[in-house]
Structure 1
Amino acid sequence: KLSWSQDRALRALGSLEKSGMAKFRENIVTGKQWFFPSL
């Protein structure tokens, strides 16, 4: 466990999304989800 704050984790995921490594989608039922299609 990294013990990161939620803010730090969201910033890291946002950075990965901007670089194209991660994809984000938000759904009322499932909430926020990030995918890593390159892995």
Structure 2
Amino acid sequence: MRFGDTRVEFLGGRSGCLTMLVISVVLSVLLTVLLNAML
């Protein structure tokens, strides 16, 4: 996962980056479902 020129390591390299990616996708889906439930 890269922010500009600095490389950020989550939970040790590539697998950690994949984990963060999956978590962010799941969170966005959950937020969408919650918003739809409220409306």
* TM-score for both structures, normalised by structure 2: 0.41
Going by fraction, where is strand more abundant, 1 or 2? 1
Going by fraction, where is helix more abundant, 1 or 2? 2
* Greater RCO (Cα-Cα under 8 Å, separation 6 or more): 1
